[in-house]
Amino acid sequence: MSDSTPSSSGPANEWDQFWKGSAGAHAYSAGGSKHPVLQQFWRDQYTSSLSEYPHGRMIDLCGGTGAVLSAAEGLSVSEGTELISLDISVSALELLVENYPYVRAIAADAAHVPLASESMDVVSSQFGVEYAGEQAIGEVARLPRAGGKLALVLHHSGGLIQQECTANSDAIRRLIDSNFIPMAVDMFEKAYAMIRGAGSSEFHAAARAFRPVFRSLEPIMDDYGVEVASGTVATLYNRVAEIQKDAPRYNETEVIEWLVTMGSELPGYADRMAAMCRSSRSAEQFKTLCAYLSQMNYQIQQAHPQQVAGTTLPMAWMLVAKREG
């Protein structure tokens, strides 16, 4: 599937856990990356690039499961055009090639791209290279050949996505700190034991202890809305209440496994949200990046914050640059 495989520990393993959780949609979804405004941007980029480079090599860095590449679906791709996706997560690439088997997948760190300089016609990245550190910017810049193009969508400091990620991170941290899931597991284990004939006193004690913990999710939803963290807090709150009303209707193993899975995914999700916030680029940082590319013989074609209708905060930084000969 992939040309190389990163280590199974460190950042690669962390992103594997993120994409596995996203695919399973237990505690969260990837979310955000396929916003219509972003999809239209990439649709426009692929439409022009496939015409301008009819037999070109195009690579999407930190491509995840294919949010950027999905914009090329249905477009006319000439025979000989090579579409490549690079990501540090093998799990993400496995999901990618399931949906886009014609894409060449490379498992690697964007800070150390195993491809020759000036070997690409188009290099793209959406909310990705920011995580790979400053060295990744140099890697991105060296890949396009003369006449090639660079297209980046970057996290905007203080923008809509950072605001959302901050809310998601805080909501999930408050959920974890409440001890909701371990106490729900304990309560349901005692409930099913009672159903099988054990005494009821342990269940009632566990239910009493759980009650204020259950209610502690309400202020989180009041603060951030029921959709925070892809609805994870609301899902836990509503489904636990539903099961608690009539536990015999539900399979004990399935209930416990669902809660345990949710609990195992939540810390990684909170960490990813925090990482998104940290990776956001300020106006000064974006200006510095544009200046660096200009020094690297790039002509800046687009460089602006992307607004979304009906909002005052920008969604992302949009950058398109062409390498001069």
- State what percent of residues in the chain have pLDDT above 70: 90
Is the pTM value of this prediction over 0.75?
yes
Token output for 302: 């687009």
Give the model confidence (pLDDT) of 298-312 as tens digits.
999 999 999 888 888
Mean pLDDT, rounded, of the chain:
89
Q: Name the 3-class secondary structure at 106.
A: strand
The secondary structure of residue 2, as a DSSP letter, is B
Enumerate residue ranges in the chain where pLDDT < 70.
Answer: 1-33
CB 181 within 8 A of CB 259: yes
Burial class (CB in 10 A: 0-12, 13-18, 19+), 80: exposed
The four Cα atoms 37, 38, 43, 45 give a dihedral, to 10 degrees, of 120
Q: Output the pLDDT for position 13.
A: 55
Q: Output the pLDDT for position 19.
A: 54
Element (H, E) at 274: helix 252-279
Q: Output the pLDDT for position 28.
A: 40
Q: Output the pLDDT for position 26.
A: 41
Q: Output the pLDDT for position 132.
A: 82
Question: How many Å apart are CA 185 and CA 206, to the nearest integer?
Answer: 10
179 sits in the region (left: phi over 0; alpha: psi -120 to 50; else beta) called left
CB 166 within 8 A of CB 277: yes
Domains assigned to the chain:
11-157+280-323 (3.40.50.150), 161-277 (no CATH)
Give the model confidence (pLDDT) of 241-299 as tens digits.
999 999 999 999 999 999 999 999 999 889 888 888 888 999 999 999 999 999 999 99
